[in-house]
Amino acid sequence: MNIGEASAASGVSAKMIRYYEEIGLIAPAGRTASNYRIYDADSVNRLRFVRRSRSLGFSLEETERLLKLWDDKARASAEVKALALSHVEELEAKIAEMQAMRDTLAHLAERCQGNERPSCPILADLEGRPLRQSTAANTADKDCCGD
């Protein structure tokens, strides 16, 4: 099949197929007499493997390692599991970081009056200015940083 057909069959764009070939993640495709790339069922299976690996967040390096393990029929599944669990730890750290970002933004948005005044705790935080602490008596005036 040609690159368009391989792309449709694998779910990997033609551009990414060419890129994966260029970086050596997958073997270069065979060529026809008119120099068109041709792919067989094994190539499409590899592309599906790469697509799924990438969709799970594995890096290109990790995907390459997984491909090598997949190719090695004498592999120990413990190595595959260790790689997967390491990736789970990375994902958990990213989730915690994103949760902290969400919490910060939610807090800043909650502090913003959202009115016609120019003061804004969101922009103040991005600028690095400290936010004023509000009190019950002057919340409307001081809750939005710096004015």
Under 8 Å between Cβ of 134 and 143:
yes
Angle at CA 64, nearest 5°, toward 25 and 8? 55
Confirm whether pTM is higher than 0.85: no
Angle at CA 7, nearest 5°, toward 6 and 8? 95
pLDDT tens digit sequence for 93-106: 999 999 999 999 99
Q: Tell me 31's DSSP state.
A: E
At residue 60, the pLDDT reads: 96
Domains of the chain are 1-75 (1.10.1660.10), 92-147 (no CATH)
Q: Is 67 helix (H, G, I), strand (E, B) or coil?
A: helix
Please list the ranges in the chain whose pLDDT falls under 50.
134-147
